[in-house]
Amino acid sequence: MKTMQGIESRRRAVRGLLARAAAYTVLYVLLASTARLLVGDQLSAFIADATSVWVEVPEESADLYRLLGYQEGSTVNGNPQFRDLRDYHGVVAIIEGPVLWGIYAVGLLGVSAWWAASRTREVDELTHAVGRAAAGEQGVLLPPELTRAQDEFDRLVEHEEARGRAVEAAEARKNELVAYLAHDIRTPLTSVIGYLSLLADEPDLPRDRRERYVCAAFEKAQRLDGMMGEFFEITRYNLGAIPIEREHVDVRLLLEQVADEVFPLAEERGVAIDLEVPEGTAAFIDPDKMARVLGNLMKNGIAYADAGTALVCRARTEGERLVLEVEDTGREISPAHLKSIFEKFYREDGARSGKGAGLGLAIAREIVEAHGGSIEAASDVGVTTFTVALPR
């Protein structure tokens, strides 16, 4: 899109220059023709008088001068007059050739320079306006001759403001999340220390109580580990773009490996995992990064699927695309949440962006887009499907 806009902008610039050059050419021809009509005869006579003299020729030599092409004038003292106009024709040729074309060329260069200077001024005006807008100034206006640029500039400013608001909102959500996590970490940490202190201070505790304390400490430690994982997830997301290293991958094998990783979670939730992948399905992708995408989608589906249902993972090829689908039956996603579900740190109730930092689906989208693909979600009548489309 940007390339097409740049080409169109250059085309408009070339058309503008050609139009001004054509207008100057027409004006120059009109002025030259008018000058020829008004002062052409007088100028011609002046040049002839300045470059030649009349010479009296005897009558018997008149025919020879006429044969040589000399201009014949009036008779003086009974003898005809002749003059040599070769210098005159030479001067006229110079005027009608190099002089007129030189003046035209100089004028054309002047028009081009004027046009270029006006474009430079417009660029300076636009650059100055961008600087003022970047400094936070509101309602920046361009000169009237930049009406078209004003429209584009207003759209650019609006887009940047929207992006700035989105960044601020994401930063605010992240800071809020970090604050909550920092506060909540104290609770399981205090519990772990408390139970371990009891075990250390009372070595003769009954076996059943000791086991209860150990289980409670282990449970709180797991919760603490999950919170620390959320911290690391936030940090990793803010480190920058995710690098992609592709290789040829057996898609069925990849899905089986990811399914094995999430099987304990599915078993605990009472959710089955079904794979529908044709044999021989292959793709040129980053297996580690795509396993992370599929793992996030499967965990998300298992977390919100109803017990006794199946999480269905499909893969198929459509031309030069590989299409992956993860489908679950359970809690629905509202249309309002579908619009923002892939935004980072998005954690609205029922949005399915995750119970943690709200980064699982955002990271999945970033990985998929780094592959040159797309990811989308659809939810209807309790059936939610995440679809990933990748170039093979």
Write down the pTM of the prediction: 0.47
| Pairwise CA distance, residues 119 & 74, whole Å | 61
Residue type, 273: I
Q: What are 233-239's contacts with CB under 8 Å, separation 24+?
A: 233/356, 233/357, 233/359, 233/363, 234/174, 234/177, 234/178, 234/357, 234/359, 237/344, 237/357, 237/359, 237/362, 237/363
pLDDT means per 10 residues in the chain (392 residues)?
Answer: 59 79 89 88 88 87 85 83 88 88 88 80 68 62 62 73 77 64 66 81 82 83 72 57 84 93 89 93 91 89 92 93 94 81 59 52 85 92 93 84
pLDDT number for residue 48: 86
pLDDT number for residue 114: 84
Please provide the DSSP assignment of 205-243 as one string.
--HHHHHHHHHHHHHHHHHHHHHHHHHHHHHHHTT-PPP
Query: What does DSSP say about strands 71-76 and 247-250: parallel, antiparallel, or unpaired?
Result: unpaired
Residue 78 DSSP SS3: coil
Residue type, 200: A
pLDDT number for residue 372: 93
Neighbouring CB atoms inside 10 A of 271's CB total 25
pLDDT number for residue 357: 45
Q: What are 118's strand-pairing partners?
A: none
* Tokens encoding 114: 């004027």
Residue type, 93: A
pLDDT number for residue 9: 64
